[in-house]
Each structure stands twice: as C-alpha cells, then as structure tokens.
Structure 1
Amino acid sequence: MIVRCTQIISPATGEVVPDHPSIRVGAEYPVLEVLTTANRVQLRIPELLDTMEHRDSPGLWDASMFTVVSSRMPSCWVAELEDGRLTLAPREWQRTGFWEDYFDVVPAAVDEYDRLRAEILAEL
C-alpha cells in the first residue's frame, strides 16, 4: 500500500501542524503496517533517522493524514486480532516486544525488519 500525505497531525499534540521533520505534505510513502483500535487507525511509515548509522525509524502516523495512492497489499501481511486491536503486518512484527527489540537494536529484530521491509517494498 502506498499513501500520500495530505496533512500533518502532530504525534505529540494531535493537532494539525504545517510541517514535521519526519514527513512532508504531498510526499508518497509505503505503508509497512496498519494498526487499528475502536477509535484510531495508524499507519507505520518508514522514516530515516538523522544519525551516523542512518537506521530506518518507522513511525506510527494517524491514517487521516493520508490518501491511498495504491491499495496493493503486501503478501507477507497477515491479520491479527488481539485485545480489540487489529493489525495488518508481517507475522514476525506482531509478536509482543518486536518493536521494542527493533528500537533497542537487537540484531535478530533488526535483521527481521530489514528483510521484511525489503520484501514489502519490492511488492509495491
């Protein structure tokens, strides 16, 4: 799935803002994951950290910021329903603690992310 940013909603305040260092209005982004709850839909979008290692920092953004450009779903996505939350993502990313491990730079999680991110991007 590919989306185009139409507005920016601050993750910190929930208010519409004119700009943000991690995302631009008008830019198109691949969606790595969709998370939904009863009152919120978020999209995980890859971002680039401005550090020496340039490791991808995939952030969660409010789905109302985007319009769908391509609705093609990656074949590695599976649906997971747990505690009232529906997730569309690779099964490996849905395990409890995966994102904490990734951001803590646990090698197995980073390798899983890199492999599946490449697979998702290749299909879009």
Structure 2
Amino acid sequence: MIVRCDQIISPTSGEIVPDHPGIRIGEEYPVLEITTTADRSLLRLPEHGYNRGRRESPGLWDAAMFTVVVDRVPNCWVAQLDDGRLTLAPPEWQRLGFWEEYFDDVPRAVAEYDRLRAKILAQA
C-alpha cells in the first residue's frame, strides 16, 4: 500500500501545519502498518530520508493526512483486534512489546523489522 501526503497534521498538537521534518506534502510513502481505534486511524511509515548508516525510526501519522495511491495490501499483514484497536501489520510486529524492543535496539526486534520492512516494500 502506498499513500500520498496531502496535508500535515502535527503529531504533538493535532493541528494542520505547513511542514514537518519527518514528512513532506506531495511525497508518496509505503505503509508499514495500520492501526485504528474508534476515534483515530494511524499509518506507520518509514522515516523520510532513511539513511542506511543508522537504524530507521518509523513514525505514526494520522491517516487523514493521506490519499491512497496503491491499494495493494502486503501479504504478510494480518488483522488483530485487541481492546477495541484493529491493527493490520505483520504478526511479529503485533506481539506485546515489539515496538519498545525495536526502539530500544534489541537485536531480534531490529532484525524482524528490517526483514519485514523489506518484504513490505517489495510488495508496495
């Protein structure tokens, strides 16, 4: 799945802003994960300007910022419904504590992210 950024909603204030260092209006991004609750939908996207010399920091962005350009869903995604939240992502990323481990540089989580990120990008 690929989306195009049409507007930027600040992740901290929730207000529409003209720019942000993590994303650009008019750019297209592959979607790594979708999380939705009763009042909000978020897309996890690869970091803009990803530098292979360091670990990526994928961000969560409000789905209202985007238009779907390619609607093909990666075959490694599964749906999980937990406490009113629906997540579409690889099952490895949906295990409790995965994202905390990834951002804490736990080697297993980083390797799972890199492997599945490559698989999702190949299908985008």
TM-score where L is the length of structure 2: 0.96
For residue 80 of structure 2, give the secondary structure of its aligned residue in structure 1: strand
Tell me by how many angstroms 1:19 deviates.
Answer: 0.4
Residue in 2 aligned with 1:97?
Answer: 97
1:11-90 matches, within 5 Å, as 11-48=11-48, 53-90=53-90
For structure 1, the 5+ residue unaligned runs are none
Change (3 A) 1:14 1:80: same
Given that residues 23 and 48 in structure 2 are in contact (C-alpha distance below 8 angstroms), is that contact kept between their aligned partners in structure 1? no
RMSD of aligned alpha carbons = 1.6
**How many equivalent residue pairs?**
124
Asked whether 1:4 is paired with 2:4, we answer yes
- Gap regions ≥5 residues in structure 2: none
SS in structure 1 of the partner of residue 72 of structure 2: coil
Q: Is the CA contact (8 Å cut-off) linking 1:47 and 1:58 kept in structure 2?
A: yes
Q: TM-score, normalised by structure 1?
A: 0.96
Taking structure 1 as reference, are residues 119 and 52 closer, same or farther at Cα in structure 2, changes over 3 Å only?
closer
Change (3 A) 1:12 1:82: same
Partner of 2:114: 114
